[in-house]
Structure 1
């Protein structure tokens, strides 16, 4: 059964911005990674206690094109403006996955007073040479699912299998569109910021870093670096899970929810 989301739409500086909302309770602003291929169905695992607001970044997913995007600073400004438009009755929690974790780090580092707790799930952005991320550009397309999930069947459910030509064509067009915006976002420094630790040092909010122990895309050996750089952080390592930790191990959402509710 498909997860039932409410669709909210905003005009943020001329960019159609779509937010998929589910649940009730204290809000969580969720920032997705470098692709929207896995969707937002994971949010059902938090919807019993929270109202999850899963926005598509400008140029990604359900949102409109954003040819002005030239770096992460533009995304941070966009989300500050979206927060103004949402006009929430209470401070939301902030949650970011992969590239969205990097985005959440810069956002919270600059505007920590706008958020309650922060959750970073397998965040990108530090680019520590001792703990290198996989170069996606060097991967053959057929190998990508094996880098996204430890149990490759979990990742494969989001990819075309050759039985639906329309889905395959849409999938390719969506990845090309998102990839074009991603290229502009990464133009200044690649997948991260050379001074990201300075942003992390400002995030005095209680923070949770979540990582799958078998992540082949962003190694779990990075996790202690994030915990050390954040003033008030704890670590949740999830055994036998890859980059798609929330999809592979849905019980992870309960543990994230316990942290946010505690």
Structure 2
């Protein structure tokens, strides 16, 4: 389909850049819009209590199952556009900006511990009238997805955890840096965002400099709320409650981990599957902390193969 072609989107963007004098922010908005359109997604918002929640959803809904996508710490809904491109023909995809992230409300006093974020997400999905879904989460979003499956088993058809947070039995390079007072996940000055991408991703998608600059500005502007959220979740890996809770998961769970992950050591994947009854682990060589960005086709294939018995009307 034409709207799904990344090559078409690239040349459309290139044409716009050549014939117009767009500002950096204008270029960014155009590029993001093209990425979303190529993935079959469009942006929307919903008010949930005192929160304004931004999200992406299918531009054309279909009769397929629903997939909810939950991003990681400091990230946003657009982290999912590459894998969504593989899914929106057959599924209704929702990528949520969690409170404190992206274009959603960012109150500093909301409460951002993992179990609190599960409650926030449940309220959002109830407001969206989503009652049953496949759920995917990355990093912090992976931990939230695991806890959500343990808390609301009747809502989850399958769960996919991409390099999930929550357990750090095996420490990573990130832990050493944080102990030394250096957190590469929270950009605070020019150059930090590119460092973050280099640290988190092995196969980095091409991002033109005007777009990268705007993304860095946004990340630096979010520094305060990011510090609050990180402080709320940083001890999750040392809490026995998290491990005890995920042992209650009854839904099918697939854990996908990039072997070159410097944020959370891939060996923690074995700890997850040992804790979650019936869970399966896939380790991807040459991939870092975000398989759905670095290897979207492979990530989608793994989900489709794993979830096939649980997909309504699957062929």
* Pairing 1:258–2:302 present: no
Is there any run of 5+ residues in structure 1 with no aligned partner, and where? none
For residues 116 and 276 of structure 2, what CA distance do their matches in structure 1 show?
A: 23
For residues 148 and 178 of structure 1, what CA distance do their matches in structure 2 show?
A: 20
C-alpha contact 1:213 1:237 (8 A) present in aligned 2: yes
Distance 1:165 1:76, change over 3 A: closer
Relative contact order, higher structure (CA 8 A, sep 6+): 1
Distance 1:164 1:41, change over 3 A: closer
Aligned partner of residue 220 in structure 1, secondary structure: coil
Aligned equivalent of 1:82: 124
Aligned equivalent of 2:217: 169
Over the residues paired in the alignment, what is the CA RMSD in angstroms? 2.6
C-alpha contact 2:114 2:143 (8 A) present in aligned 1: no
**What is the CA-CA distance between 1:92 and the residue it aligns to?**
0.5
* Pairing 1:226–2:272 present: yes
The number of residues matched between the two structures is 254
Aligned equivalent of 2:71: 32
| TM-score (structure 2 length as normaliser) | 0.72
* Pairing 1:118–2:178 present: no
Deviations 1:86-129 (A, max 9, x none): 213x510111100101111222211112211111010011121x
Aligned equivalent of 1:104: 145
In terms of Rg, which structure is larger? 2
**What is the CA-CA distance between 1:191 and the residue it aligns to?**
5.8
For residues 49 and 211 of structure 2, what CA distance do their matches in structure 1 show?
A: 40
Aligned partner of residue 247 in structure 2, secondary structure: helix
Aligned equivalent of 2:285: 239
For residues 211 and 46 of structure 2, what CA distance do their matches in structure 1 show?
A: 36
Aligned equivalent of 2:247: 201
Distance 1:163 1:236, change over 3 A: closer
**What is the CA-CA distance between 1:165 and the residue it aligns to?**
5.7
**What is the CA-CA distance between 1:250 and the residue it aligns to?**
2.1
For residues 238 and 145 of structure 2, what CA distance do their matches in structure 1 show?
A: 12
* Pairing 1:248–2:294 present: yes
Aligned equivalent of 1:186: 233
Distance 1:106 1:8, change over 3 A: same
Aligned equivalent of 2:81: 41
Distance 1:190 1:205, change over 3 A: closer
Aligned equivalent of 1:13: 49
| TM-score (structure 1 length as normaliser) | 0.85
* Pairing 1:63–2:104 present: yes
For residues 18 and 164 of structure 1, what CA distance do their matches in structure 2 show?
A: 21
Deviations 1:190-212 (A, max 9, x none): 56743211111111101100011
Which range moves more in the overlay, 45-54 or 164-173?
164-173
C-alpha contact 1:69 1:184 (8 A) present in aligned 2: no
Aligned partner of residue 247 in structure 1, secondary structure: helix
Deviations 1:166-209 (A, max 9, x none): 55433422x4255144235337x356743211111111101100
